[in-house]
Amino acid sequence: MSAAIETRGVTKRYRGFVAVNGLDLAIEQGTVFGLLGPNGSGKTTTILMLMGLTEVTSGSVRVLGLDPVREPLEVKRMVGYLPDSVGFYEDMTARENLRYSGKLAGVSNLENRIDAVLTRVRLSEAADKPAGAFSRGMRQRLGLAEVLLKEPRIAILDEPTSGLDPQSTQEFLDMIRGLKADGLTILLSSHLLEQVQAVCDRVGLFYRGRMVLEGAVDELARRVLGGGYRITVEAAGAKADALRAIAGVNRVQGSETVFHLSAERDVRADVAPAVERAGGTLLGLSMQTPSLNDVYNEYFREMRHAA
């Protein structure tokens, strides 16, 4: 599958400050990719370069095979962008705002497209209400409708769920899943790790202008946590060495009665015999799916210890 977005050695400097440093990235068509990292880590600058809104200092960017700086109009026709704070004409209705945007973008069959996207984002009943009366969640959905109006091949979403309540957040994540099912390539920038994990196929973690981790969550769990399986063992009289000797176990943390295992496979069936051989008694056993929070926290813990 060819890359919808590709960067090679991309660097962006602002008066000596390096905002993005040597970025190599390939996002396959039809996938959801999450850009993670704290504020100021380089996520927004990367998006601006992909949109052709700022030039790269060095390296190359290709969006659907096009150079965003040299071919900005072609890229903008195929890429929809939803910033973290969407601006609309407050005294105009949702339908009127979309009609204005659609005419500027040269959208054909405009009225039918407006009806379709309003239905898609569940705003049909509010279509003729002024945007100034919309909640933040409704404004974000209207922003997504504006992105979809021109039927893009790529959607770039910058902190789309920031400030939303739990119900609005879940609705928005469901919409992202629907867009992926339709074949759109989605670049999602966020610092909300659980939400990113819920919808993304692959993720990249930015830190101080560099992408320090990139891959699927289970891949990152194996690299950072020592395994894709996280198993908690409660046992009386057990020894960490007995658990560490189980084939596939890469790491054992804890002591006395509670142990946390990182493993390359599901080793739960091997835990009880290992505990019994060591003269212990198994009290409890559970397995947790590795999370981006686990990966993120462990990665930076190791960085602090290495410093």
Enter the CATH code of domain 3-215: 3.40.50.300
The predicted pLDDT at position 204 comes to: 94
Neighbours of 183 (CB within 10 A): 9
The predicted pLDDT at position 263 comes to: 87
- Find tokens 């960017």 and name the residue: 61
113-129 residues labelled b (16+ CB within 10 A) or e (exposed): bbeebbebbebeebbee
Domain boundaries, the chain: 3-215, 226-306
**CATH class in words for 226-306:** alpha beta
The predicted pLDDT at position 57 comes to: 96
Assign residue 88 a region: left if phi > 0, alpha if psi is -120 to 50, beta otherwise?
beta
The predicted pLDDT at position 86 comes to: 82
CA distance 121 to 246: 50
**pLDDT for 260 beyond 60:** yes
The predicted pLDDT at position 274 comes to: 93
- Residues 2-11, mean pLDDT to the nearest whole number: 94
238-250: pLDDT as tens digits: 788 999 999 999 8
CA distance 128 to 123: 10
141-188: pLDDT as tens digits: 999 999 999 999 999 999 999 888 889 899 999 999 999 999 999 999
Q: Which two tokens stand for residue 226?
A: 């020592």
The predicted pLDDT at position 125 comes to: 95
Q: pTM of the entire structure?
A: 0.83
CB 21 within 8 A of CB 176: no
**pLDDT for 293 beyond 80:** yes
Q: Which two tokens stand for residue 105?
A: 């973008």
**Single-letter residue type at 45:** T
**pLDDT for 224 beyond 90:** no
